[in-house]
């Protein structure tokens, strides 16, 4: 396997400009505020409801973005003295978004706010209108469509959805948590504790929903990370972050990658493992006592550990057809894990992956992940919409359900859709010499936070090792390497491979550069993700 260079850039600034459209300095130039049409109307309507003591019913989602969005709304509404109720749907019993069943949970006379959902809830919100329930939609998903040129909007008094209705938006790439944060900035005093707590949650939701970390999103994540690292966040969230830091052995400051790899999965796992898990996470975040926060946080971490094991077992059990243009699989997979299995199949096969399991109601419920944004899985599902009971989502991730008898028909339509062919050869981004690593570490720090649209570069480093520079760890599983300049490198799970290849001394190392923290000191190191014999 021979790596190719991803572009002709020779330094980090050129690489960042190529992938994001901004220089390093330009990445962190923000507007004082970002205009979102109708958001001021939402603020005014909420203030009126609070003044009138009208019940505000906030309906979110069961993933990290939905949970953080609802939690932010709770902090906001509590700060203005509103009368409110929260609801995150049960993944298994309720399904995604507000629907014909869950609309019945909304009390008569309430002001219903859907956040991180609602833009495709045509029937449910029509039923709400017939009951005289006023609806505000705060969403960021694609609208239901008759065709590419005609969208269908649900019945609501105010709709804020920069994805579906982007005209006039300074930035249209928010997630639900980002919208809630922007709303709070309009309604709360700058620098107030409730607003700063909301910013911390918004950073987690924004990273978790894998929206581009540029423009307004980048500002949200930078501000939120500053608060998280300063301990300025709700008591329950701080307790959870502290416990995750210990369990995951996170050293140094919390970065965007920690939010994505450790914090967010802990949020998500509860809803995947337990029907009411999403509300359990909300209770954790908003816990008002140290004891409750500690107990709730420990439970979330335990569920996440269980989720990892179950997902791996499910991944091992599925059968894929190498001749198929997509992965369209089903099996005895917990409903909460179908999306995770789909994501792993994309990594292993490079194909859009549709994974479903049969529910207790006798229908297939699934999730899909794309291998490339141009292979728009939401549009693929639209193409067989008449065969589906429900579907919705983004270009790269969506959910769907269909009757058992339509399994082959759905598969046939999806498999017939032409796909953009994605290059599969491995790529690296920048060449580097050992002497350049310390300075590069400082440059990388100036780019943080990394994320979608601002991905960390993969470096190539040519090394001729001296005897004794490469050694297996005590357990014989990993490799420890000494690079010129007394810089360390770690190659995880590569000791056996290195031995079988005859312990070569001249290598091209491909990896990331990270700070290593030990006893209050930090030093640069390379995390080797692959290597080639030079």
Task: Give the helix/strand (H/E) hosting 383.
Answer: helix 377-383
- Please tell me the distance from the alpha carbon of residue 304 to that of residue 291, in angstroms, as a whole number: 20
Look at phi and psi of residue 129 and say left if phi exceeds 0, alpha if psi is from -120 to 50, else beta.
alpha
- Please tell me the distance from the alpha carbon of residue 360 to that of residue 142, in angstroms, as a whole number: 29
10-residue mean pLDDT profile of the chain (534 residues): values are 91 97 96 96 98 98 96 98 97 88 96 96 96 97 80 96 95 97 98 98 97 97 98 98 96 96 95 93 96 96 93 88 94 88 93 91 91 94 93 88 95 96 88 96 97 97 95 96 95 96 96 91 95 95
pLDDT at 520: 80
What are the residue ranges of helices labelled H in 166-289? 176-187, 193-208, 215-229, 235-247, 256-258, 264-273, 277-285
In degrees and rounded to multiples of 5, residue 524 shows phi and psi of -75, 145
- Please tell me the distance from the alpha carbon of residue 50 to that of residue 429, in angstroms, as a whole number: 52
CA dihedral of residues 237, 231, 228, 114 (deg, nearest 10): 40
- Please tell me the distance from the alpha carbon of residue 369 to that of residue 353, in angstroms, as a whole number: 5
pLDDT at 1: 66
pLDDT at 149: 76
Neighbours of 57 (CB within 10 A): 21
- Please tell me the distance from the alpha carbon of residue 476 to that of residue 479, in angstroms, as a whole number: 8
Which CB contacts under 8 angstroms, 24+ apart, belong to 380-389? 380/352, 380/414, 380/417, 381/414, 382/145, 383/413, 383/414, 383/417, 384/409, 384/410, 384/413, 384/414, 387/413, 389/363
- Please tell me the distance from the alpha carbon of residue 162 to that of residue 20, in angstroms, as a whole number: 20
pLDDT at 146: 67
pLDDT at 314: 87
Buried/exposed 245-279: b ≥16 CB within 10 Å, e otherwise:
eebbebeeebbbbbbbebbbbbbbbbbbbbbbbbb
Task: Give the helix/strand (H/E) hosting 65.
Answer: helix 64-79
Q: Is 482 exposed, middle or buried (0-12, 13-18, 19+ CB in 10 A)?
A: middle
Task: Give the helix/strand (H/E) hosting 427.
Answer: strand 427-428
Listed residue (78, 152, 162) closest to 120, CA to CA: 152
- 274 DSSP assignment: S
- Please tell me the distance from the alpha carbon of residue 192 to that of residue 189, in angstroms, as a whole number: 5
Listed residue (48, 38, 72, 53) closest to 157, CA to CA: 38
pLDDT at 494: 97
Neighbours of 293 (CB within 10 A): 24
- 451 DSSP assignment: B
């Amino acid at each position: 396997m021979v790596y190719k260079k991803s572009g002709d850039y020779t330094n980090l600034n050129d690489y960042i400009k190529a992938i994001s459209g901004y220089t390093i300095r330009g990445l962190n130039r923000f507007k004082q505020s970002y205009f979102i049409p109708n958001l001021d109307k939402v603020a005014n309507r909420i203030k009126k409801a609070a003044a009138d003591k009208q019940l505000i019913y906030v309906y979110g989602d069961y993933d990290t973005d939905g949970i953080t969005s609802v939690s932010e709304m709770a902090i906001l509404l509590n700060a203005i003295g509103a009368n409110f109720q929260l609801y995150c749907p049960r993944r298994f019993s309720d399904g995604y978004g507000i629907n014909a069943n869950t609309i019945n949970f909304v009390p008569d006379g309430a002001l219903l706010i859907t956040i991180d959902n609602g833009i495709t809830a045509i029937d449910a919100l029509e039923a709400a209108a017939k009951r005289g329930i006023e609806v505000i939609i705060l969403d960021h998903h694609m609208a239901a469509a008759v065709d590419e040129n005609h969208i269908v909007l649900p019945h609501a008094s105010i709709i804020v959805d920069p994805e579906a209705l982007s005209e006039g938006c300074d930035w249209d790439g928010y997630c639900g948590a980002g919208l809630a944060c922007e709303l709070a900035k309009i309604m709360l005093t700058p620098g107030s504790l409730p607003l700063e707590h909301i910013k911390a949650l918004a950073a987690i939701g924004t990273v978790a929903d894998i929206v581009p970390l540029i423009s307004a999103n980048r500002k949200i994540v930078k501000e939120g990370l500053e608060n998280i690292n300063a301990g300025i966040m709700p008591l329950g969230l701080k307790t959870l972050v502290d416990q995750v830091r210990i369990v995951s052995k996170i050293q140094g400051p919390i970065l965007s990658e920690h939010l994505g790899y450790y914090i967010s999965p802990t949020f998500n796992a509860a809803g995947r493992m337990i029907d009411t898990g999403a509300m359990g996470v909300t209770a954790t975040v908003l816990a008002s006592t140290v004891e409750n926060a500690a107990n709730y946080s420990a439970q979330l971490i335990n569920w996440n550990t269980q989720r990892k094991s179950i997902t791996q077992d499910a991944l091992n059990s599925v059968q894929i057809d190498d001749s198929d243009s997509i992965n369209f699989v089903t099996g005895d997979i917990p409903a909460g894990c179908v999306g995770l299995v789909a994501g792993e199949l994309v990594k292993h096969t490079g194909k859009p992956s549709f994974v479903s399991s049969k529910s207790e109601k006798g229908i297939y419920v699934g999730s899909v992940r794309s291998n490339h944004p141009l292979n728009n899985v939401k549009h693929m599902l639209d193409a067989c919409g008449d065969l589906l009971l429900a579907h919705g989502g983004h270009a790269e991730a969506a959910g769907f359900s269909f009757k058992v008898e339509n399994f082959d028909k759905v598969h046939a339509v999806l498999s017939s859709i032409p796909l953009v062919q994605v290059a599969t050869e491995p790529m690296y981004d920048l060449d580097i010499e050992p002497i350049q690593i310390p300075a590069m570490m400082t440059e990388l720090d100036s780019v943080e936070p990394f994320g979608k649209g601002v991905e960390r570069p993969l470096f190539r480093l040519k090394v001729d090792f001296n005897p004794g520079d490469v050694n297996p760890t005590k357990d014989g599983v990993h490799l420890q390497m000494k690079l010129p300049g007394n810089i360390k490198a770690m190659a995880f799970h590569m000791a056996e491979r290195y031995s079988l290849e005859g312990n070569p001394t001249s290598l091209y190392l491909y990896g990331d550069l990270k700070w290593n923290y030990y006893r209050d000191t930090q030093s640069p190191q390379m995390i080797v993700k692959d290597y080639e014999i030079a």
